[in-house]
Amino acid sequence: MTDRLPKLVATSVVRGAQQGDSHGGIFTIDFDKQETLQHVDWNTGEIDFEGRGADRGLRGIAFDGDDIYVAASDELFCYDRNFRITASWRNPYLKHCHEIARMDRTLFLTSTGFDSLLAFDLDSRQFTWGMQVARALGGWAGTVFDPRTDKGPSPINNFHINMVFVDGSGVFVSGLRTKAMLHMNSQFELNEVCNIPVGSHNAQPWRDGVLVNDTQCDAVRYSGRDGTNKAFRIMTYPEDEIQFAGIDDSKVARQGFGRGLCAINEQLVVGGSSPSTVTIYDVDNAAVVARATLTMDIRNAIHGLEVWPYDD
């Protein structure tokens, strides 16, 4: 492990915001320079104000060369390294997108409103594939569909699919109510890798186990196949320091809501929470290495979180 801490990029969602307000943004957090910058302030008149803030803010982040892909609820945006929008795409089967991940020339996106994954071809720049996740015969099955047609699935949100992670072994997917992290192989078969808590976000393989935001218990957890279990309580603040407390009638905007999680290396991981806070954890030494708080507005929650891949 080096002594130099990373630069991160984060997106945020603002719960309980009203039309005309900011609904989140894109930030860089440079722990080495102790510098935080907001590059995008998300404010659009097209946001759906029904349903607990589901359509507000910016979400998953992925990189492809100098292109930075960021998901909103129902639209995929491409930014350049100066955070200028260069293109965007919609699809009728993309609804309440949470996380996105790139593997080779394909970008995978979760579509929570359809319990589905979508694939976006980075060369042809179109949505080319979709798969709806469902229970089948005591296990799991994926129904493949073509998102370029009108023959796709009906909206459904049984499992609240909110996370996708990719590596050389395939695609991992999970949700608030899957109770498991699933693996999809090249034959589009879905199999359980391990159990995860109900209400989890950002479940992903790490080292020889699973890393997860246990959102219901306000904790970041790592569980290894060797029996290792590490848990970090998510930071909360004195109530008199919190801004806009109680403004969100749905009670979704609360302290300690963990969302956004990525690995820095084989020892350090970084997690997001609300009010928008980014914390670096040393798993081996069970220690908090560094923390940055972007705002004390309780409505503002980190969503997407990735290591900045460029040398500035």
Per-residue pLDDT tens digits for 115-153: 999 999 999 999 999 999 999 988 999 999 999 999 999
Domain locations along the chain: 7-307
State the DSSP string of the chain. --SPPPEEEEEEEETT--TTS---EEEEEETTTTEEEEEEE---TT---SSTTTT-S---EEEETTEEEEE-SSEEEEE-TT--EEEEEE-TT--S---EEEETTEEEEEEGGGTEEEEEETTTTEEEEEEEEEEETTEEEEEEE-TTSS-SPPP--SS-EEEEEEETTEEEEEETTT-EEEEE-TT--EEEEEE--TT-EEEEEETTEEEEEEGGGTEEEEEETTS-EEEEEPP---GGG-BSTT--TTS---TT----EEESSSSEEEEEETTTEEEEEETTTTEEEEEEE---BTTEEEEEEEE--S--
Query: What digits encode the pLDDT tens for the residues 222-267?
Result: 999 999 999 999 999 998 888 877 654 445 567 888 899 999 999 9
Q: Is the pLDDT of residue 312 over 80?
A: no
Q: Compute the mean pLDDT over every residue in the chain, rounded to the nearest whole number.
A: 89
**Mean pLDDT across 12-16:** 74
Write down the pLDDT at residue 305. 96
Q: Report pLDDT digits (tens) over 47-102.
A: 443 444 444 679 999 999 999 999 998 999 999 999 999 999 999 999 999 999 99
The CATH code that applies to domain 7-307 is 2.130.10.10
Q: Is the pLDDT of residue 45 over 60?
A: no
